[in-house]
Amino acid sequence: MRLVRLARPKAPLNPSAAGRHPRALAAAAATLAVAGLTAGCSGGSGGGGATGTITVAAIKGVDTAPLYAGAKPGGAFAKAGITVDIKTYSSVAAEISALRQGKVDVAAGDYVDFLYSAAKKPGLLIVADGYHAAPGVMEVLAKPNSGITSPRDLIGKKIGTPLQQELPNKSNGDPYSLESLAAQSVLNDDNIAPGSVNWDAMPSGNLIRALKRGQVSAIVVQEPYIYEAESQLGAVEVFDACSGATSDLPLSGYFSTKAYAKGNSALLAAFRNELQKVQASAALPGPVRTVLASENGMQNSASLITIGAYTTTLNPASPGRVATLMFNAELLSAALNIQSIIFH
């Protein structure tokens, strides 16, 4: 699988802050035009020249920045003869509901929610791989001077983790979200058994406040929450949740339904082809950060957050890694046959 990884900022935001990931970006890179993504490298229509309109449900974020850039008027999709109509949603649960009801043709989002939904109720297909972790994209953070500086310091502690929208909230403190599954894998590598820490699921927007108030001893979050926690609380990294066995962990993808694919396979293939080209163009960090600043309201942080990798192929082994984590954590009652839900 080919991954397009964005260059990491070279200088720390605050050189004196211990344990911080470098986040500052050279000014020239931050001001690169968005044309690199909107133009893409399409060079013609993909998927056998199919054209038409496809409606995509998405949540504005780092993972979907190439989609929003490519869908701009005159962008890569338009040049390939595909009109991409993006419907922006506030939750993955709402996206999945819209997808199953036929209100949208494709939906982008967190693998755990979509794979859980696919296992619970057949009918979903994986159309494209989207976004993978890189160093600094998902971290366990604690307050400065908390005494928590290593994985073993978390034993017996409560760690805040994002609430997974499709899954029933676990009340026993077991790994639950993609973030906690990844973090627990790292803890396992350090011989810290499941059950040694208590995972506390809550809405992502509440995690930093919970850490500040001492309701949890640490939190596991992705960007831009990492940057926000560091900026607001001076939070420090305990460990990178996507390292070792979870290095380059797939985080999100694009899904459709078998019903839609049955009658629109050529258009769906063309969409995937162009999306992968747009994501290949995302190797330049400037355009992605420009989209985040203009589309996501991240004017002050877009040039400072750490960005992961956008994939340019769909390998079943990629979402399969997430499905395996879910099965091992008993979020899935049976192993999910990823090959059977890949759109071909």
Domain boundary among 200, 220, 246: 246
Q: Is residue 22 part of a domain?
A: no
Q: Is residue 308 part of a domain?
A: yes
Per the structure, the count of domains in the chain is 2
Q: Is residue 16 part of a domain?
A: no
> Do residues 76 and 100 share a domain?
yes
For 182-217, the pLDDT digits (tens) are 999 999 999 999 889 999 999 999 999 999 999 999
> Do residues 267 and 184 share a domain?
no
Q: Among 103-112, 127-136, 151-160, 172-181, which is the least confidently predicted range? A: 172-181
Residue in 277, 279, 162, 227 with CA at minimum distance from that of residue 25 = 227
Domain boundary among 246, 268, 301: 246
User: Percentage of the chain surpassing pLDDT 70?
Assistant: 82
> Do residues 170 and 115 share a domain?
no
What is the residue-wise DSSP string for 125-136?
EEEEEEEE--TT
User: Percentage of the chain surpassing pLDDT 90?
Assistant: 69
Task: Supply the range of the domain harboring residue 64.
Answer: 3-11+27-132+250-341
> Do residues 75 and 165 share a domain?
no
Residues 6+ apart with CB under 8 A from 270: 45, 46, 47, 48, 49, 50, 51, 80, 81, 82
> Do residues 119 and 32 share a domain?
yes
Distance CA 160, CA 204 (A): 9
> Do residues 36 and 121 share a domain?
yes
Distance CA 78, CA 71 (A): 7
Domain boundary among 246, 261, 283: 246
What is the residue-wise DSSP string for 201-232?
EE-GGGHHHHHHHTSSSEEEEETTHHHHHHHH
> Do residues 49 and 61 share a domain?
yes
